[in-house]
Chain A
């Protein structure tokens, strides 16, 4: 097996790791995988002489035939790759359901996720070059005078890392909100609703904090249900409150799959009920994309619901 073929297999291994259904969350390592893929892309490009992007006039017959065959095969490779992504995406949903509770049905949609987007773009960009590298009998010989210049393209890797870090810090955070009243929970003498929100950095390519809470209101107080670590509402009889248990399907103070692929996250949730019976639910989180807390950002999500169910603040 040639060096180029080994590089293609390494590329495939890293790509499969990026789309693998387990672990459900990469805990900030996705950016490392993407940079590794970028490095392998540049190395493969240099070893193939960037044949996939070369103009036809400069190629000899062998190179032209190799390039043409590569593009025909690249279509099939792209189809196979996307089919693999669909299968792993489906498995991911199953694993996510058993490892952690799935988001509320009214949650903000995240059909592909940042990991999926990165894997798709990588597949489409590198497929022809990977086929050329696999099929070519020997690497392109670089002229001796151009060796130093030949490794300059690798600078795109640290440059991309820097660009990503800047984007995650400079771009404003974005929120997606959803709620449904009445929600999935029913309670005697009270109305309940499901509230879900997500606040992300880097337009989806940083980390994100998540708010997921089931709120009920009975005319005296509004209160969260499903998290027994939160204080019990005074208007609810003790024996009724004792009947509730921890239910992450209702209220969950953890980031979910897709939230911490490109950044590490810690978040905490608090609930206070004021003397008017208005509930203030707050999620505070810290998102840091790189080691050592470099580029860390503090995010917040709030939900305020009055005792008669009026939403005063959400987002």
Chain B
């Protein structure tokens, strides 16, 4: 006799619960691998832009209904907080028409698309398309959003104007940069952001969505997470260890005594980072060590800088009374996306008068 309850066979393959994390790790490995094989940055950036486009398409395929992750208030509030951080970064950080600015813009577009799905676009819907509850929520959100908008725009402009001539000059530079985008973001999306912040969790009476839709939901969540977290994680690699390559080679046939060729590269960050390079020839004749070439102020330039700003803080060459040559090139590397992150990089060369390399790099 067949039992009344049918025992379902377990599927051989089941979407793992950690799909979002897996998607993120996969994309990170691809980009780090691209960095290792020195694929041009423009190709990597184009690939990222394509990935963001696919993510937007995947998110738009998600149905907006109770139970979906975008229906949870905690997720929506996280999304609003992320948009606020991106806006803050635009207001104080990179220029609009820069690599970092383009990256932030892509992020903002993605977040706005997710915001629209999360709020069912009720902020801009016609009056006959919303029910009473949604109408009340939208009205409360518009009042709160207008107050925030007026205080944010009016307050910041007034304070920047009145505070000091330096703050006025700062405002002048920002008004021609990312601040315009922040203003447009607040003008067109602040009501939707307020709705997303205020609306409680959407609850439904229907049973949980079908397995295929759950898989799509997890895939979308993973892709959004990857698109958002990737630039942040790559910026955080600025805090990682330095990678240094050094090479010293004697040079024969030069008339200035015993000469050596010095090559060093110090790299920080993965894909988002900077490389500091030193290529020089220095000679010693037993009385003093001297530079032949490559140890001048014009040589203190970064070899590469990707989504970071490099500021040379010290570039000096001295020869002391013992005839020892000392060269110091130090620079501060600051992340374009996370301006509060910075590292100091230093390259040193100390060559004694007898040709002994005291310190390198």
| Interface residue stretch chosen among A90-98, A106-114, A158-166, A267-275 | A106-114
Q: Say yes or no: B169 contacts A74, CB within 8 Å.
A: no
| Interface residue stretch chosen among B15-23, B160-168, B298-306, B308-316 | B160-168
B-contact bits for A241-278, CB 8 A (1 contact / 0 none): 00000000000000000000000000000000000000
Q: Say yes or no: A111 contacts B172, CB within 8 Å.
A: yes
Q: Which residue of A lies closest to B180 (CB)?
A: A86
B-contact bits for A61-81, CB 8 A (1 contact / 0 none): 000100110011011001100
Given known contacts A111-B168, A112-B161, A124 and B142 CB-to-CB distance under 8 angstroms = no
Q: Say yes or no: B175 contacts A203, CB within 8 Å.
A: no
Chain B nearest Cβ from A31, distance in angstroms: 16
Q: Say yes or no: B165 contacts A176, CB within 8 Å.
A: yes
Q: Say yes or no: B146 contacts A110, CB within 8 Å.
A: no
Chain A hits for B142, CB < 8 A = 68, 71-72, 75
Q: Say yes or no: A124 contacts B143, CB within 8 Å.
A: no
- CB-CB contacts below 8 Å: A174-224 with B: 174-176, 203-204
Q: Say yes or no: A109 contacts B146, CB within 8 Å.
A: no
Query: In the complex, A120 Cα to B157 Cα: how many Å?
Result: 9
Q: Which residue of B lies closest to A79 (CB)?
A: B187
Chain A nearest Cβ from B156, distance in angstroms: 11
Q: Say yes or no: A109 contacts B149, CB within 8 Å.
A: no
- Judge whether B129 is part of the interface by a CB distance below 8 angstroms: no
- Range of interface residues on B (Cβ < 8 Å): 20 to 34
- Judge whether B208 is part of the interface by a CB distance below 8 angstroms: no
Given known contacts A75-B142, A111-B172, A174 and B165 CB-to-CB distance under 8 angstroms = yes
Partner of B139, one of A68, A75, A120, A128: A68
B-contact bits for A12-50, CB 8 A (1 contact / 0 none): 000000000000000000000000000000000000000
Q: Say yes or no: A109 contacts B168, CB within 8 Å.
A: yes
Given known contacts A110-B168, A124-B153, A78 and B161 CB-to-CB distance under 8 angstroms = no
- CB-CB contacts below 8 Å: B127-178 with A: 139, 142-143, 145-146, 149-150, 153-154, 157-158, 161-162, 164-165, 168-169, 171-172, 175
Chain B hits for A71, CB < 8 A = 139, 142-143, 146
Which label, helix, strand, loop or mixed, suits the secondary structure of the A interface? helix
Q: Say yes or no: A78 contacts B149, CB within 8 Å.
A: yes
Q: Which residue of A lies closest to B154 (CB)?
A: A124
Q: Which residue of B lies closest to A117 (CB)?
A: B161
**Most chain A beta carbons < 10 A, residue from B139, B149, B153, B161:** B161
Q: Say yes or no: B150 contacts A117, CB within 8 Å.
A: no
Partner of B150, one of A64, A110, A124: A124
Between A and B, 19 residue pairs with Cβ closer than 8 Å are: A68-B139, A75-B145, A75-B146, A79-B187, A108-B165, A108-B168, A109-B169, A109-B172, A110-B172, A112-B175, A114-B161, A117-B157, A121-B154, A124-B149, A125-B154, A176-B165, A203-B162, A204-B161, A204-B162
**New A-B pairs, 20, CB < 8 Å, besides A75-B142, A78-B149, A114-B161:** A68-B142, A71-B143, A72-B142, A74-B146, A75-B146, A75-B191, A78-B150, A78-B187, A79-B187, A108-B168, A108-B169, A111-B172, A112-B175, A120-B154, A121-B154, A124-B150, A124-B154, A174-B165, A175-B165, A176-B169
Chain B: residues with CB nearer than 8 A to chain A?
139, 142-143, 145-146, 149-150, 153-154, 157-158, 161-162, 164-165, 168-169, 171-172, 175, 183, 187, 191
Chain A: residues with CB nearer than 8 A to chain B?
64, 67-68, 71-72, 74-75, 78-79, 82, 108-112, 114, 117, 120-121, 124-125, 128, 174-176, 203-204
The 7 closest A-B pairs by CB, nearest first: A176-B165, A109-B172, A68-B139, A124-B150, A111-B172, A71-B142, A124-B154
